[in-house]
Structure 1
Amino acid sequence: MSNKSARLAIAITAMVTFSPGLLAQPLPENSAACQGGCDGGTRNLNAQSENLHRATRNYNRGIAKLQKQEFAKAAKYFERAAKAVPEKAEFNYMAGSTFYFAGDHELAEAYLNTALTIEGEDGIDQGQREIASDIIKKIAAE
């Protein structure tokens, strides 16, 4: 090693040894980028994100089947979405209303009642509430 290279190596070693701030710091445990060391909150967020992704994929498949008027198949996709993310009223509403058209009134009523209980940001709009209530009344009158 040349004299110049040796001095450079010694300088770098000294800099790293006496300046720990220059070293790469480990990611905090609750960082979204952590691997193997995530805390429960991050793992829960990742699971929720995966559930929402799966639910959205099933919801979209349900819409495609609904457009083809394949009600039983559409209802199963919407049911998968509702089971993956039960707090989303839209998923429950679509499962319930589609089960109604598929002829499974028991499941229709259950999913529509669930949709009606969800309030706030994840709730369904007023028009959907009216439709859900009307379907439930029709089922009760049978």
Structure 2
Amino acid sequence: MRRAWMLPVLLVLCGSALSTRQIVQGHPGTAAAVLLGFVLLAALNSPLIFPRSVSAPEAQRLSALDGRPIVYWRPGCQYCLRLRLRLGRRAHRLHWVNIWRDPAGAEAVRAANDGNETVPTVFVAGNPHTNPAPGWVRDQLR
């Protein structure tokens, strides 16, 4: 859990330090813009932007029932973020598994990627697809 929040917290701390420096130099407008930019970056790299994660066994059980794909992801991954943002509202129709929180999810990703934890890895009907195009994933939801 701590590892998922390290980058967002670091971004907010760096933004705060740079903003403080701008205020000391007499540039409060620049300070506000810098802090806002860092807070937005922190939000984009936090687990908050992703739908609620479930465990790998739970995702597999739900996927078997409803046929929806499973996305294995981790916070801070730019490719996971790209997939999440390009899916828009449709992202809630997938089952998301955070591999940093779920050892079984991490193991499923390693098994699909020759021992590497390459994410996003999307399982559709039990078949893994590593870093698929967002358009392809959208097509799988139809």
TM-score normalised by structure 2 residue count? 0.30
TM-score normalised by structure 1 residue count? 0.30
Larger radius of gyration: 1
